[in-house]
Structure 1
Amino acid sequence: MTRLILFNKPYGVMSQFTDVRSETVRPTLSAFIDVPGVYPAGRLDLDSEGLLLLTDDGRLQSRIADPKYKTPKTYLAQVEGDPQESALEQLRRGVQLKDGMTLPAQVKRIDPPDLWPRDPPVRFRKSVPDCWIELTIREGRNRQVRRMTAAVGHPTLRLVRWRIGDWTIDAMQPGEWRDG
């Protein structure tokens, strides 16, 4: 029977079970999940939070993580500035990055979500506004959402992956996991 785990990865936790870099100690998945034989289906950066799927099924892992399957991934992003419709439209059409054009994204402005506090908190600056967007992509390039928002002039301050396909972290706190 296939095992699938939904994990709400906290900020600052590596998306792997061991840290091969020995000069600093960074928290890994092993501090939260003691289930043998499961591996992450994709990754989340150290400074990103939210849904990480783990499975013991290599085919399922590939279907989730491989860009050729175009599994939708939805992110809540706090971005610097106040993006106008023209910036959002650029994201909807696709953005030129150094590694090529992205696929079109679904994007909309949202009210600030009711999320857990981040530790450390995002730096607040009175003179620079920020806002939240919901962005759904069907690729998984390295730091793609951050690079896309920066390319349209609105760097990401906080990034939370909320959904992958039909799986979501709704009602899960950071560090919690459950079987999917």
Structure 2
Amino acid sequence: MSRLILFNKPMNVLSQFTDRGSPTKRATLSDYIDVPGVYPAGRLDRDSEGLLLLTDDGRLQARIADPKFKLEKSYLVQVEGEPSASAVEQLARGVDLKDGRTRPAHAETIDDPQLWPRDPPIRFRKNVPDSWLRLTIREGKNRQVRRMTAAVGHPTLRLVRWSIGDWSLNGIAPGDWREVPV
């Protein structure tokens, strides 16, 4: 029977079990998960937080990670400034990036989701407001969400992947994981 683990990856943790090529020791999945034979299905940047799925099933791993299956990934995104309705509409229609136009996405402004504190905290600037978006995409270009918000004039301050398909972070604290039936 296949195993599937939902992990709430903290900020500054690599989405791999070893850290090769760095002179300093960086946190990896092995600091949090001691389950033999599972591997990440996709990636989540070191400076991003949230849901990372791990499995021991190669076909399931491919189905989760491969963009051709168009599995939705939803992100809670704290951005600099207050995006206008037209900026949110641009995100929804797709934006032009250096490596091509993004597919249409679901984009909406949301209230502060009252997440756990981030370590290190977001830099507070008294004269620059921030706000939150929920962005749901069906592709996975490198650092796509960050590049999309920057393209519409609102750089990302904090990025939390909340869900992948039907799996979500509900009830999983940062650094914790839960195994679920496949």
Fold match by TM threshold 0.5:
yes
**Residue equivalent to 1:36:** 36
Amino acid at match of 1:85: A
- 2:92 match: secondary structure: helix
**Residue equivalent to 1:73:** 73
CA deviation map 1:73-122 (0-9, x unaligned)? 00000000010000001011101000101001101110001210000000
Once residues 38 and 116 of structure 1 are traced to their aligned partners in structure 2, the CA distance between those partners, rounded to angstroms, is 27
2:96 pairs with 1:96:
yes
Once residues 8 and 69 of structure 1 are traced to their aligned partners in structure 2, the CA distance between those partners, rounded to angstroms, is 23
Once residues 74 and 102 of structure 1 are traced to their aligned partners in structure 2, the CA distance between those partners, rounded to angstroms, is 15
Amino acid at match of 1:33: I
Residue 22 of structure 1 and its aligned partner are, at CA, apart by 3.1
Once residues 22 and 76 of structure 2 are traced to their aligned partners in structure 1, the CA distance between those partners, rounded to angstroms, is 32
How high is the sequence identity, in percent, across the aligned residues?
A: 73
Runs of 4+ in 1 over 4 A off after TM superposition: none
Residue 12 of structure 1 and its aligned partner are, at CA, apart by 0.4
Gap runs ≥5 in structure 1:
none
CA deviation map 1:56-89 (0-9, x unaligned)? 0111101101011110000000000010000001
2:12 pairs with 1:12:
yes
2:84 pairs with 1:84:
yes
CA deviation map 1:120-166 (0-9, x unaligned)? 00000011011000000000111000000000000000000000000
Amino acid at match of 2:59: R
- 1:117 match: secondary structure: coil
- 2:146 match: secondary structure: helix
2:149 pairs with 1:145:
no
Residue 171 of structure 1 and its aligned partner are, at CA, apart by 1.6
Q: So what's the TM-score if we normalise by structure 2? A: 0.98
Residue 24 of structure 1 and its aligned partner are, at CA, apart by 1.4
Once residues 26 and 141 of structure 1 are traced to their aligned partners in structure 2, the CA distance between those partners, rounded to angstroms, is 24
Q: So what's the TM-score if we normalise by structure 1? A: 0.99
Gap runs ≥5 in structure 2:
none
Once residues 80 and 171 of structure 2 are traced to their aligned partners in structure 1, the CA distance between those partners, rounded to angstroms, is 26
2:49 pairs with 1:46:
no
Aligned residue-pair number:
180
Q: CA RMSD in A?
A: 0.6
- 2:145 match: secondary structure: helix
Once residues 108 and 102 of structure 2 are traced to their aligned partners in structure 1, the CA distance between those partners, rounded to angstroms, is 17
Amino acid at match of 1:47: D
Amino acid at match of 2:86: S
Residue 27 of structure 1 and its aligned partner are, at CA, apart by 0.2
**Residue equivalent to 2:63:** 63
Once residues 162 and 62 of structure 2 are traced to their aligned partners in structure 1, the CA distance between those partners, rounded to angstroms, is 20
Residue 172 of structure 1 and its aligned partner are, at CA, apart by 1.1
